[in-house]
């Protein structure tokens, strides 16, 4: 009888622990005001960068939008009609959110494919004909282009895991969809 009671108590404690964990995970992704999803960069889990609300409104980096979400994209539309089309790839409890970045060619003449030096503010990419690259003038590696998918696979030498970017070249601009790991926004001590 004592053994059955101990087993019952143990089972109840496991169920209670599961409920507490589930409630904790829900609080990370659900906030007041009808927020359906709330995402933060993995390196700053307490600062929301993307909120998708139940009423169809969204906020991305402090700007208001309406949104449509598909299986692998989120389309944000501003009041002026401008749209942001962002790919995303779920990866367990986090996802890769592809943000659009525009780099300008800094070579002579017009670019011939990816080869050359591209800059956006203090960020840069340099791609060589030998299949090597350097990101931000510091992070080296090798790259492989898939023309059918319009993607670039970056294999970093040391600092990061491999990444797949999507790209377009329009004149002297290199438009990249760059993957940023995001996680459900977590409450900070101030919010508790």
- How many whole angstroms separate alpha carbon 118 and alpha carbon 114? 9
Q: Is residue 93 part of a domain?
A: no
pLDDT in tens, 43-60: 999 999 999 999 999 999
Asked whether residue 21 is domain-assigned, the answer is no
Report the pLDDT averaged over residues 76-92: 93
pLDDT at 74 over 80: yes
pLDDT by residue (tens digit) across 14-47?
Answer: 333 333 333 343 333 344 447 789 999 999 999 9
The domain tally of the chain equals 1
For residue 125, tell me if it sits in a domain: yes
E strands in 123-185: 123-127, 132-135, 139-146, 151-156, 163-170, 173-184
Residue at 19 is within a domain = no
Residue 118: its pLDDT value, please? 97
Whether 81 is covered by a domain: the verdict is no
Q: Is residue 3 part of a domain?
A: no
CA distance 31 to 36: 8
Tens digits of residue pLDDT in 109-121: 889 899 999 999 9
Taking only the tens place, the pLDDT of each residue in 163-189 is 999 999 999 999 999 999 999 999 866
Which range marks the domain in which residue 174 is found? 100-181
Determine the Cα–Cα distance for residues 140 and 136; give it in Å rounded to an integer: 9
Instruction: Flag whether 83 is in a domain.
Output: no
* Region of residue 5 (left: phi > 0; alpha: psi -120 to 50; beta: else): alpha
**76 within domain boundaries:** no
N residues, the chain: 192
């Amino acid at each position: 009888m004592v053994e059955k009671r101990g087993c019952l108590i143990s089972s109840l404690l496991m169920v209670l622990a599961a409920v507490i964990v589930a409630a904790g995970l829900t609080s990370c992704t659900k906030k007041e005001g009808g927020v359906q999803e709330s995402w933060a960069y993995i390196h700053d889990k307490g600062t929301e960068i993307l909120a998708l609300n139940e009423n169809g409104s969204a906020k991305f980096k402090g700007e208001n939008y309406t949104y449509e979400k598909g299986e692998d994209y989120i389309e944000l539309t501003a009041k002026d009609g401008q749209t942001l089309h962002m790919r995303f790839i779920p990866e367990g409890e986090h996802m890769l959110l592809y943000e659009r970045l525009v780099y300008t060619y800094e070579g002579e003449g017009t670019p011939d494919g990816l080869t050359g030096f591209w800059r956006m503010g203090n960020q840069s990419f340099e791609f060589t004909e030998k299949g090597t690259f350097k990101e931000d003038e510091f992070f080296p590696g090798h790259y492989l282009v898939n023309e059918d998918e319009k993607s670039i696979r970056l294999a970093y030498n040391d600092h990061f895991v491999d990444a797949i970017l999507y790209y377009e070249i329009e004149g002297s601009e290199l438009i990249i969809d760059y993957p940023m790991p995001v996680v459900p926004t977590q409450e900070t001590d101030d919010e508790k």
